[in-house]
Amino acid sequence: MTITMCGSVKFFDEMVELQKKLEENGHTVLMPIKVSGVDYWSDDATSRIEAKRRLGLLEKHMDKIERSDAILVANYTKGDIKNYIGANTFLEMGFARYRNKKIFLLNPIPDQKYISDELLSWEPIVIEDNLEKIQ
């Protein structure tokens, strides 16, 4: 199965580990691009916005989802939000749903009121950190 990894760039190192495990299980994994030299954690978003525009990061990632059978959302705890799903990841999930791709969540649906109902209606497959459930 070809799987596109989705999630906050904060979890990029964890996504690389997931990629290795999935590839060991015979899957092809398409990864998001993490741009070197961009300060992802600064309150000033100028460098992030410029990189996204200049490099077409959203478009490139959506193309990966289009070529995939499924997405895997690496939804770990970020700050005080357990199983965090951010705006870009939510957008990617919506696109995957629209394109009839399987949506796997590494962890349960977060308690984020503005997205919980939508996520439930998309019926993602929660794998509870068990990559063997991806089929």
Q: Which position has the token pair 């990966």?
A: 64
Starting at the edge strand that comes first in sequence, how are the strands of the sheet with 28-30 ordered? 28-30, 2-6, 70-73, 102-105, 125-126
Question: Quick one: pLDDT at residue 117?
Answer: 81
Question: Quick one: pLDDT at residue 118?
Answer: 83
Query: Which CATH number belongs to the domain containing residue 42 in this structure?
Result: 3.40.50.450
Rounded distance between C-alpha atoms, residue 84 and residue 89, angstroms = 10
Q: Which position has the token pair 């794998």?
A: 127
Phi and psi, residue 107, nearest 5°: -125, 170
Question: Quick one: pLDDT at residue 57?
Answer: 76
Question: Quick one: pLDDT at residue 49?
Answer: 66
Question: Quick one: pLDDT at residue 124?
Answer: 95
**Per residue of the chain (135 residues), what is the pLDDT tens digit?**
999 999 998 899 999 999 999 999 999 999 998 776 655 555 555 666 676 666 677 888 999 999 999 999 999 999 999 999 998 999 999 999 999 999 999 999 998 877 878 888 898 999 999 999 998
| Closest listed residue to residue 104, CA positions, set 96, 112, 116 | 96
Range of 118's domain?
Answer: 2-133
How many domains would you assign to the chain? Answer: 1
Predicted model pTM: 0.88
Question: Quick one: pLDDT at residue 36?
Answer: 67
- For β-strands 125-126 and 102-105, DSSP reports them as parallel
